Amino acid sequence: MARLRRTITLVLGGARSGKSHYAQELAARFPRAIFVATARAVDAEMRRKIARHRQERPSNWKTIEAPVRLSGTIRSESRHADVLVIDCFTLYVSNAMRLSRNAEADNHKAIRELCDAIRASSASIIAVSNEVGSGIVPAFRSARVYRDLLGRLNQEVAAIADNVVLMVAGLPVHIKRSGRVMRRPA
């Protein structure tokens, strides 16, 4: 099998839009894949979802749990894989916000560190995240801070990504492909 070019791909979409399935399909082309999980099994529903996701992944993929130390995990694990699938930024931001007392400064620093780790990765990166900018403005401050941080992270990663895909009803809509923003003809 020919070595695939190293790329950064961001897969965005709403809940149950097919993001994880699409990311796994992309990663299946690589010989050595590591799945980086950011979810925490905090309740029965989440435990069932994690178990289902594990069953859907190829058995030869290594799984690393990184609910908060994502930058370090990318730096250490990228040496051992051809691709890292990060699923997902949505839960990572939630987990990181719970740890931080100086939320704005700490979380902006974490976004910079995460982007630096992604850029430095020797493996391809396929990152999954929810697109949260299309909904209503949340009534509570903490939810607005969360939405803004995830939106910022999505923007920062999209800026350095080679490919950005928006999943809609299980269908991929390419927003950016090979570093070129997809535009309608004039």
Active site residues: 53
**Cis amide bond preceding 88, omega within 30:** yes
Residues 6+ apart with CB under 8 A from 152: 108, 111
Contact (Cβ atoms closer than 8 angstroms) between residue 11 and residue 126: yes
CA separation, residue 175 to residues 50, 86, 116, 145 (Å): 29, 19, 22, 25
Which residues, 6 or more positions from 65, have their beta carbon under 8 angstroms from its beta carbon?
Answer: 37
DSSP-H helix ranges across the chain:
19-27, 44-56, 70-77, 89-99, 103-120, 141-160
